[in-house]
């Protein structure tokens, strides 16, 4: 299933955010489109479309599975080093055993999570995809 988000801020900032933070998770940008189905430009990532139109998507929580704790760390580090806002440093959470995650806010304030589940826990071994 592909999720689409609309941006209110500068479209290029949102695309740069997702390029920056999804790359360490192995999630590529697939294509850029100038105009088409949605009568606006958009960028495709695996399982995610970023649309240049309003109103913006808001109050959304996106979670991407990581293959290791190191990928979670790299996701967060890449975002912070690029000037994006942290919404939670990498670490274990009390949500469930073996739940290792980090959070960043996209330019529209949506919460974007990278999650790794330790061996033996539900969700371990999931591919790097949107859930």
Which residue positions in the chain have pLDDT lower than 50?
128-131
The answer to whether the CB of 88 falls within 8 A of the CB of 72 is: no
What would the pLDDT profile of 82-99 be if each residue is shown by its tens digit? Answer: 999 999 999 999 988 899
Q: How much is the pTM?
A: 0.82
pLDDT at 128 (0 to 100): 47
CATH 3.90.320.10 fits 3-117, yes or no: no
pLDDT at 131 (0 to 100): 46
**HSE-CB for 107 with a 13 A CA cutoff:** 21
Instruction: Give the whole-angstrom CA distance, residue 121 versus residue 82.
Output: 32
């Amino acid at each position: 299933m592909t999720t689409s988000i609309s941006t209110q801020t500068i479209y290029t900032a949102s695309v740069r955010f997702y390029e920056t933070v999804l790359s360490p998770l192995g999630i590529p940008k697939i294509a850029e489109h100038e105009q088409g189905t949605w009568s606006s430009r958009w960028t495709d990532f695996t399982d995610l479309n970023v649309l240049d139109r309003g109103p913006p998507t808001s109050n959304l929580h996106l979670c991407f599975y990581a293959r290791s704790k190191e990928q979670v760390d790299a996701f967060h580090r890449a975002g912070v080093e690029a000037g994006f806002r942290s919404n939670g440093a990498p670490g274990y959470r009390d949500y469930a055993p073996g739940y290792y995650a980090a959070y960043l806010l996209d330019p529209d304030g949506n919460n974007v999570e990278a999650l790794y589940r330790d061996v033996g826990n539900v969700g371990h071994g999931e591919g790097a995809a949107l859930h």
